[in-house]
Structure 1
Amino acid sequence: MAFPSCVQCGTRQNPCRCKVVGPTLGFVAFLVTGVIEWPVGAVVYIFKHSKGRRIMGHPATVVYPKVSRSIPI
């Protein structure tokens, strides 16, 4: 069984121009926050549509990019 990993090539953050650790940890953080925030966002969406959409989109728009960018490997 292989460990799933995310690869981002063409970056200028390291000499190899490829990242594996950052995007993979970003995806794991995306999944963890998604499991928590998507049900909460769905409940909030019933009462406040725009706020619910922001909560459900938070893992993809904030968490994944921050974690992925913070680790240059």
Structure 2
Amino acid sequence: MVFVPLCMQCGLNSNACKVKVLGLTLGFVAFVVAGVIKWPLGAAVFFRHRKGRRIMAHLATVVYPRVTSAIPI
């Protein structure tokens, strides 16, 4: 059995369907892929340096919002 992430946001005025599916789903997938790389790296640096905290927060503050807002549907 394969898990396929599907994220949905209803009631938007940015497109004709008033539903956003593709951008949110691709944002989630990008978040997970980047997390596999960045979280172990950030965890190794987290306790000793401020840069580790920025690496850990980068996914939620930069990656997910940029991918989600780049695709309006």
SS in 1 for 2:47: helix
Partner amino acid, structure 2, of 1:63: V
Could you say what the CA RMSD is over the residues aligned between the two structures, in angstroms? 1.5
Are 1:67 and 2:70 an aligned pair? no
Q: CA deviation at 1:46?
A: 3.0
Counterpart Cα distance in 2 of 1:72 and 1:63:
16
Alignment of 1:1-73 (within 5 A): 3-48=4-49, 50-73=50-73
- Structure 1: unaligned runs, 5 residues or longer: none
SS in 1 for 2:5: coil
Q: For this pair of structures, how many residues does the alignment match?
A: 72
Q: CA deviation at 1:41?
A: 0.5
Partner amino acid, structure 2, of 1:47: R
- Structure 2: unaligned runs, 5 residues or longer: none
